[in-house]
């Protein structure tokens, strides 16, 4: 019995990950551990402020803070990983990069024929390659299918099915090419791996929040964790729009910019009653109060304001085990939750077809 139990455990997919968050205000890192059928475990976390010196570029200050973070992770975090996993090296490094060095967009690709056709991966990949987002000086780091609709109905397992019309929702992450290459090469050298996965921070947090609140199928997500607030709209469980609002501070100008974006959004979609507010803990209360004082209910043509739901680390700790000694860090918990979904999809891909790569709810061929 012991032999077969050991054999079964040997085949279980496990993973150690380094999670890195990069923004203009601070950089943060964590070691996390993943195993099939278990919640991800955050073993160690650390955050450093980005302190800009006189006449210094924000980029240089960020890279200096990142170097300090990496040194601390290796010195303090790696021994903790060693005690937990039996080795101190990570299998993958996931790095989330925020504005002004990132851009997130969402688009829908449509497929329709007069006669029914088989919906296939190759059909989707051809369309995505032909219409992929390109921008000078930007590096495409992630292009994920986050929803598939066949004959008007969302479908979780669409490939091989017959349909007359289909649509896929594609979420794209673009990173400043110079920043992306510098950060990636630094992390590859420090952690001795080529498996460094950069992604736009707003894209990551939006997808993680969908995993954290799967029953909220109609909602607005205001991500005010960085210097630019992003606004994403969920309709029937699908992300249909994501835009950036200039600035993030509890001011009249900020809430008016949000109201302008909401007014434009309402011309295309009904506005949902729930607004998720993502913000760093010291800023959450002031931002929530500013939104409440902004009388958003006028955009809903109602006397009842929409429900503003600030997201706290406590909402995520039921989905991610916080084993680190430091207090739970919301952004790092969301990163751990995001990587859990990618990890689970990759485990399925390895079993079903080793030549494909899992991307957020669907399986796409490697590009």
Q: What is the pLDDT of residues 313-322, one digit of tens each?
A: 999 999 999 9
Across residues 197-201, what is the average pLDDT? 94
% the chain with pLDDT above 70: 90
SS (H, E, C) the chain: CHHHHHHHHHHCCEEEEEEEEECCCEEEEEEEEEECCCCCEEEEEEEEECCCCCCCCHHHHHHHHHHHHHHHHHHHHHHHHHHHHCCCCCCEEEEEECCCCEEEEEEEEEEEEEEEEECCHHHHHHHHHHHCCCCCCEEEEEEEEEEEEECCEECCCCCCCEEEEEEEEEEEEEEEHHHHHHHHHHHHHHHCCCCEEEEEHHHHHHHHHHHHCCCCCCEEEEECCCCCEEEEEEECCEEEEEEEECCCCCCHHHHHHHHHHHHHHHCCCCCCCEEEEECCHHHHHHHHHHHHHCCHHHHHCCCCCCEEEECCHHHCCCCCEECCCCCCCHHHHHHHHHHHHHHHHHHHHHHHCCCEEEECCEEEECC
Higher-confidence position of 84 and 134 = 84
Across residues 354-359, what is the average pLDDT? 36
pTM, two decimal places: 0.87
Range scoring the smallest mean pLDDT among 197-201, 300-304, 325-329, 344-348 = 344-348
Residues 29-77: pLDDT tens digits? 999 999 988 999 999 999 999 999 999 999 999 999 999 999 999 999 9
Across residues 153-165, what is the average pLDDT? 90
Band (pLDDT 50/70/90 cuts) for residue 360 is very low
The pLDDT of residue 11 is 57
Domains located in the chain, CATH noted: 2-100+178-202+316-357 (3.30.420.60)
């Amino acid at each position: 019995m012991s032999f077969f139990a050991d054999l079964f455990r040997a085949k279980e997919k496990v993973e150690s990950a380094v999670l890195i968050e990069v923004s203009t205000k601070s950089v943060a890192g964590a070691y996390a551990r993943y195993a099939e059928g278990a919640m991800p475990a955050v073993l160690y976390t650390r955050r450093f402020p980005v302190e800009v010196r006189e006449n210094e570029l924000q980029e240089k200050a960020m890279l200096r803070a990142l170097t300090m973070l990496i040194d601390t992770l290796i010195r303090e975090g790696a021994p903790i990983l060693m005690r937990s996993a039996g080795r101190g090296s990570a299998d993958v490094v996931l790095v989330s990069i925020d504005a002004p060095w990132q851009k997130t967009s969402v688009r829908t690709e449509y497929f329709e024929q007069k006669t029914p056709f088989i919906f296939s991966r190759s059909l989707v990949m051809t369309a995505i390659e032909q219409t992929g987002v390109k921008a000078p000086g930007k590096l495409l780091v992630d292009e994920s299918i986050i929803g598939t609709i066949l004959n008007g109905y969302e479908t979780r397992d669409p490939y091989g099915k017959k349909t007359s019309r289909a649509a896929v929702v594609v979420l794209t992450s673009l990173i400043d090419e110079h920043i992306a290459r510098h950060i990636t090469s630094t992390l590859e050298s420090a952690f001795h791996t080529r498996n460094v996965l950069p992604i736009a921070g707003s894209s990551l947090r939006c997808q993680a929040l969908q995993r954290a609140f799967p029953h909220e199928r109609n909602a607005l997500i205001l991500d005010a964790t960085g210097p630019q607030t992003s606004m994403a709209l969920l309709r029937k469980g699908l992300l249909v729009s994501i835009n950036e609002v200039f600035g993030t501070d509890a001011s009249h100008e900020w809430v008016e910019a949000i109201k302008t974006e909401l007014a434009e959004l309402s011309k295309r979609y009904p506005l949902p009653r729930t607004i998720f507010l993502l913000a760093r803990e010291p800023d959450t209360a002031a931002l929530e109060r500013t939104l409440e004082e902004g009388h958003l209910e006028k955009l809903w043509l109602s006397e009842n304001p929409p429900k503003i739901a600030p997201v706290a680390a406590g909402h995520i700790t039921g989905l991610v085990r916080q084993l680190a000694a430091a207090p739970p860090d919301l952004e790092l918990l969301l990163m751990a939750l995001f990587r859990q979904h990618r990890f689970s999809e990759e485990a399925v891909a390895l079993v079903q077809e080793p030549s494909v790569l899992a991307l957020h709810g669907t399986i796409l061929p490697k590009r």
